[in-house]
Chain A
Amino acid sequence: MTIQFLGKTLKNPMVLASGVLGNSNDILKRVHESGCGLVTMKSIGPEPRDGHKNPTVIDLGHGMINAVGLPSPGYLNMENEWKDLEKREFPLIASIYGGSVKEYRMVAEFVSSKKPDFIEINISCPNSEKHGMIFGINPQSSHDVVSAVKKVINVPLIVKLTPQAPDIGDVARACEDAGADAICAINTVGPGMVIDIESKMPVLAFKKGGLSGPMIKPVAVRCVFDIYKAVKIPIIGLGGITTGEDAIEMMMAGATLVGMGSAVRYRGIDVFQTVADEIDTWLSDHHYTLEDIIGAAHKEDAS
């Protein structure tokens, strides 16, 4: 089930979402070998950052809430990781974040020199006061970040968007106009909050956090549907995908590739191969190819 994406051939359309297991070359390699077409490193920031105190990740059954808080060694403190990744034999997305257009550009320029296959800019993280989402909720600020980053990198640029944008289609179009090569959507939903009634305290140390997992899938599908209508560049669709049928639904909304993160909790690291196999089975049962289903839910709009 190989698929072409921005000039690279991937063994399947499955993507490891940023922030999940992407901490080292060894674990990224394992995720790839266990059946994931394209893996994403944990977001890399401008300076060393510990992230938030625990509790940071809670499973709510119907999905998760997290406020890990963008931990990163900082782009200048990852020499071992870059050395390991230079020798990799799998396609890789390097995800980056910043607190200003200048920081995004600085990190992107450096990371580009380390030759990941793609750079993803995270302009959508809800778990930090000054990073991420503040850029992605607005078409103009998204445009500013994307065009600044695009000028200093020489690998394709993916922009990861937040469902909190009032019109995610507008934001996606602004990113496309600024030179983005693909859109990745969605980051976590919210932020939300869980309060423990015995201690009368928010459970997350950061108090609020992003929602992921099955409970957010309808939001993710709607966002990808809106983005597909707004842009011509390919979309990595993610948010609550756990099964092959979920993935097919996301592709029908307009996704070329499908990402997963929380699904690792529910079905293990092998979930990428499992879902790829489930997609394959569904396609052959219905006598479809991947090309037949990408954006298929838009045919009413076209007529």
Chain B
Amino acid sequence: MTTITDQKHIMLRVEKKQVDGPAFATLFFNYALPFKPGQFIMVWIPGIDEKPYTISYHSKNEFAITIEAKGIFSQKAITLEKGDLIGIRGPFGNGFDIKPEDAVAVVAGGCGMAPLATLVEQLPENTCFIHGARSREFILFPDRFDMDRLFCTDDGSFGRKGFVTELLENEIASGRHFDRVYTCGPEIMMYHVFNLCEKHHIPCQVSLERYMRCGFGVCGACVCGKQVVCKDGPVFDSSALRGIKDFNTKALLKSGKEVDLAQYFSWRCK
């Protein structure tokens, strides 16, 4: 039986704010957070709301979250400054499965770069690193890592014009071998990456997003098929993904109503 531990919020003050281009900001906190890439925390802004966020920087005594201003919560979060108070619960979820000896590819799309950042830092230099976004201003952390990176944008304003799946397909076609592909980004992008991996029999790890409440697998708000995203995930491997019929098709609104993904995302980004 797991130890029953207190999971009330740990209250922290913003230590430093880093502006990441016009679309993103990163908030740093001095706190030793036990954390594995792919996990998430629930972030509470008192008086506003509480939302799941991934950790975008992590070291022994410091961590950071990166915000893209989309909805009411994130528009508030992006205005936080040094000294402002937030609460965190977690970390929750399973995290990525990392095997240092494997040859891997990382495929990031838009703000999906944030949860992959701490993973990338643990991967060898010969990792195939593909990073895409709508346009130049949505490329998060363009100068951050030592590793070579293949960039693309939908409009061609940064890197190649096109999609991450095309870049990944090129790498596979060139004869490059991958033991595993990690991906995070818009669900439709991850779905195409997954299908490409299936076609080439490459195991894939995908980080899913759904509306969450408890963060620890009880309330059921984030169920996706028979999977509980906050607890069984948010990272799912190929064998789990094959069994999730809601992957890239359905999600639950806050009321619990099942809708198609387009309707879900238009609500989430309000």
Contacts and interface: CB of A to CB of B under 8 A. Distances in A.
Contacts, number: 143
B21 to A, nearest CB: 28
Interface stretch (A23-31, A161-169, A292-300): A23-31
A23 B5 CA distance: 26
Contact of A199 (B11, B217, B225, B254): B11
Interface in A44-96: 48-51, 53-62, 64, 66, 68, 71-74, 77-78, 80-81
Contacts of B255: 48-51, 71-74
B49 A205 contact: yes
Nearest to A202: B46
A205 to B, nearest CB: 7
Contacts of A61: 4-7
Interface string B3-16: 01111110100000
B7 to A, nearest CB: 4
B226 A77 contact: no
Contacts of A58: 7-9, 89
Given A27-B223, A48-B255, A267 B1 contact: yes
Contacts of A80: 258
B227 to A, nearest CB: 8
B223 A264 contact: no
Interface string B217-239: 11111010110100000000000
B158 interface: no
A203 interface: yes
B51 A54 contact: yes
B71 interface: no
B60 to A, nearest CB: 24
A57 to B, nearest CB: 4
B50 A71 contact: no
B77 interface: no
Interface stretch (A3-11, A14-22, A111-119): A14-22
Nearest to B213: A56
Nearest to A79: B258
A57 B220 contact: no
Contact of A201 (B47, B214, B217, B228): B47
Q: Quick one: which of A21, A60, A62 has the most chain B CB within 10 A?
A: A21
A268 B13 CA distance: 33
- Interface size class for chain B? 35 or more
B9 A42 contact: no
B9 A23 contact: no
B257 A265 contact: no
Contacts of B215: 57
Contacts of B34: none
Given A54-B50, A205-B49, A48 B257 contact: yes
Contacts of B258: 24, 73, 80-81
Contact of B223 (A26, A48, A56, A77): A26
A179 B30 CA distance: 60
A191 interface: no
Nearest to B216: A265
A223 B1 CA distance: 27
Contacts of A145: none
Contact of B9 (A81, A203, A266): A203
Contacts of B221: 23, 71
A198 B258 CA distance: 38
A57 B225 contact: no
B85 interface: yes
Contacts of A77: 257
B213 A54 contact: yes
A55 B218 CA distance: 14
A230 to B, nearest CB: 31
Contact of B8 (A24, A54, A194): A194
B194 to A, nearest CB: 19
A210 to B, nearest CB: 13
Nearest to B246: A26
B61 interface: no
Contacts of A78: 257
Contacts of A21: 217-220, 223, 228
A71 B4 contact: no
Contact of A59 (B7, B225, B252, B254): B7
A35 interface: no
A214 interface: yes
B223 A62 contact: no
A265 B218 contact: yes
Contacts of B87: 196, 198-199, 203
Interface of B: 1-2, 4-9, 11, 42, 44, 46-47, 49-51, 85, 87, 89, 213-221, 223, 225-226, 228, 246, 252-258
Given A21-B218, A55-B9, A66-B219, 18 more contacts: A23-B256, A26-B223, A50-B255, A53-B49, A54-B44, A54-B51, A57-B214, A58-B89, A60-B8, A61-B4, A71-B221, A71-B256, A74-B255, A198-B11, A199-B46, A203-B44, A203-B87, A269-B228
